[in-house]
Amino acid sequence: MNTASVSLGASVSSQSRLMQLVLSAFLGIFVIGVVGFSHIDAVHNAAHDYRHSMAFPCH
């Protein structure tokens, strides 16, 4: 019984890590695709200023 619970915990942990990876990828795509290329000046400028504050070369 102890072995089954350990293996179940490992698979849940792997699924949790996969879910975290997928959600972080979608968040990254959203930030780059939607916020970074936004036509709304306030949103675009906020993303642009954040990139500069993190020393990320953007132009």
- The answer to whether residue 7 scores a pLDDT higher than 60 is no
- The answer to whether residue 59 scores a pLDDT higher than 80 is no
- The answer to whether residue 52 scores a pLDDT higher than 70 is yes
Which of 21, 20, 46 is closest to 34 using CA atoms? 46
Q: How far is CA 42 from CA 14, 20, 23, 34, 35, in A?
A: 39, 29, 26, 13, 10
The arithmetic mean of pLDDT across residues 11-31, rounded, is: 87
